[in-house]
């Protein structure tokens, strides 16, 4: 079973918020269906952070968040592999500007 992308966003937001606690302010999550390097179905997940909070995420906390997201998605019935990117609101806005 695959969750709707809006459901994925909810599950991921809860899992990342719990894993990162107060380290980073998450504004929202953007999920898209994609394929992994083996051609299997995957999820490209962009976690959008508040201004200035990206520096608060350590490698260990990012790994904990990935594990939490993977576990939460599986518990919700979605076995797609999560590919996670972190961006700040500013980075997202500048990439949107570059695309238009």
pLDDT tens, residue by residue, 60-96 = 888 999 999 999 999 999 999 999 999 888 888 887 6
The answer on pLDDT for 23 being more than 80 is no
Upper half-sphere CA count for residue 58 (Cβ side, 13 Å): 7
Residue 24's alpha-carbon distances to 10, 15, 62, in angstroms, are: 17, 13, 11
pTM for this model (two decimals): 0.86
What is d(CA 22, CA 14) in angstroms, rounded to the nearest whole number? 13
What is d(CA 47, CA 13) in angstroms, rounded to the nearest whole number? 8
Give the domain ranges of the chain.
5-99
Q: Which two tokens stand for residue 95?
A: 């990439």
Q: 5-99: what fold? A: GMP Synthetase; Chain A, domain 3 (3.30.300)
């Amino acid at each position: 079973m695959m969750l709707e992308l809006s459901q994925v966003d909810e599950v991921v937001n809860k899992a990342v918020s719990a894993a990162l606690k107060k380290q980073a302010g998450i504004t929202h999550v953007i999920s898209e269906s994609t394929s992994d390097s083996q051609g299997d179905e995957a999820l490209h997940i962009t976690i959008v952070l508040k201004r200035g909070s990206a520096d608060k995420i350590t490698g260990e906390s990012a790994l904990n968040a990935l594990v939490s997201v993977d576990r939460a998605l599986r518990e919700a019935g979605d076995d797609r592999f999560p590919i996670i990117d972190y961006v700040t609101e500013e980075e997202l806005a500048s990439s949107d500007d570059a695309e238009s």
